[in-house]
Amino acid sequence: MTPSKWVRIWNERLPDVPLTLVAVSPTEVFGVLRASGADAGFVRLPVDRTDLSAIPLYTETTVVVIPKDHLVAAADEVSVEDLADEIVFHPLDDTLEWEQLPGKPAIERPATTADAIELVAAGVGVLVVPQSLARLHHRKDLTYRPVSDAPASRVALSWPQDETTDLVEEFIGIVRGRTVNSTRGRAPTPPQPKAKRKRPEAGAGAKAGSGGKGGSGRSASGKPAGKNPRGGSGGPKGGKSGQSGKPRRRP
């Protein structure tokens, strides 16, 4: 597996939570999950659902690994029948489920896929594996070609059923392509309350005016005071004393 994309997204969303990758062989991965050696793992189906959960991710192309100067290298794609005369290695950690093994069997089964790759490089035989394993064990003197009718390998994300923590749920969401605001992914940041607009205080900023005790050009509620028909600035409406703004002399 090369989960670099998912690791990058994890580091962007949870920069304070380190995500550590551990390389595990296909034969050991389920034991590691059950022993809590990892929170989740990329595995190949089938998965024992008794104590493990799993979600299928994708199906891999199956390829045959061959030396670069092999006759098969001249083809774009081959079939199992094309390998009938070849010694085809079947390592003990093989991840493909064959009903009938292709080609001629080797005298002894290699212990690991890595050991089988070394034998292919030595020109002893060929190896049929999922494409990711061919890439993992890439060598300059080897190449690979798709095998059209070989069993396919399905990759899944698996984790212990009784250890589905919030962080495991977060990683599941990333692998399944959920966005950061998805309701099934990480809880979105709650919206912040909007600041309330302040209402002007009664009489704020009022100045003493020329129209007596209440004269400022504004009322106590902060609204402009009404003008009298003669143009007075805050005096009572209709009063004769408001015509000139001066006291009237008594006769």
pLDDT > 60? residue 193 = no
Taking only the tens place, the pLDDT of each residue in 57-68 is 999 999 999 999
pLDDT at 204: 42
Q: Kindly report the CATH number assigned to the domain that includes residue 16.
A: 3.40.190.10
Q: Report the predicted TM-score, pTM, of the whole model to 2 decimal places.
A: 0.65
* Count of domains forming the chain: 2
Distance CA 170, CA 186 (A): 6
pLDDT at 249: 52
Tokens coding 197: 């607009």
pLDDT at 26: 79
* 114 shares a domain with 139: yes
* 160 shares a domain with 49: yes
pLDDT at 72: 93
Q: In what order do the strands lie in the sheet with 153-160?
A: 41-44, 153-160, 52-60
Taking only the tens place, the pLDDT of each residue in 35-74 is 999 999 999 999 999 999 999 999 999 999 999 999 999 9
Beta strands 142-146; 62-67: pairing state: antiparallel
Q: 77: domain range?
A: 62-151
* 135 shares a domain with 27: no
Taking only the tens place, the pLDDT of each residue in 231-246 is 444 444 444 444 445 5
pLDDT at 179: 84
Distance CA 96, CA 134 (A): 13
Beta strands 153-160; 52-60: pairing state: antiparallel
Tokens coding 79: 């079939």
* 145 shares a domain with 106: yes
Distance CA 115, CA 137 (A): 10
Report if residue 185 sits inside a domain: no
* 139 shares a domain with 110: yes
